[in-house]
Amino acid sequence: MDIDVIVTKASNPKGVTFELDDGNGKTQSLDFKNDKHPGIIIYFNIVDPDETGLVFKPTPSNALWVESQGTPPACPTSPSTWNQFVPLSVERSGKQLIVYNRNKAQKQFAFTFWFEWPGGKSVDYDPIGNNQNGQRE
């Protein structure tokens, strides 16, 4: 599954805005479905039309934090993991984050991407995920 992470310059405190495009249009929330067959490899690809230079943090566990507790779960504010949504690798000179979504737990979760500006300053983005797959039948 390929998902674009669109970065646009902005005059807000972060200096950018973010949107996701899963092929069905721009969104801030992603639904993950795989016809009751757990396991989706997701390629999050930075699309940077304004040439901001943002890249994912180079260590996968620093590039993605995940929180699954709570209803709805709160966006993670510290490094956190969930065994259903696992960052595997940062590729393409930091422009791609590869994640394995086991998609066995049918539930909503929150995640935070972490990026770096040229020079190393960090910036975050907090979309929402929704596993709609569940166990194999």
Through-space distance between the first and last CA atoms of the chain, rounded to whole angstroms = 22
Structure-block tokens of residue 37: 């067959």
Instruction: Encode pLDDT of 73-101 as tens digits.
Output: 788 889 999 898 899 999 999 999 999 98
Return the pLDDT at 134: 55
Q: What is the pLDDT of residue 135?
A: 55
What's the CATH number of domain 2-131, 3.30.1330.80, 3.10.310.10, 2.40.10.120, 2.60.40.420? 2.60.40.420
What pLDDT does residue 105 have? 73
DSSP the chain: -EEEEEEEE-SSTTSEEEEEE-SS-EESEEEE--TT---EEEEEEEE-TT----EE-SSHHHHEEEE--BTTBPPPSS----TTEEEEEEEGGGTEEEEEE---S-SEEEEEEEEE-TTS-EEEE--EEEE---S--
In this prediction, residue 104 carries a pLDDT of 77
pTM: 0.89
Residues in the chain with pLDDT values less than 50 = none
Structure confidence at residue 62 (pLDDT): 97
User: By C-alpha distance, which of 62, 55, 58 is closest to 81?
Assistant: 62
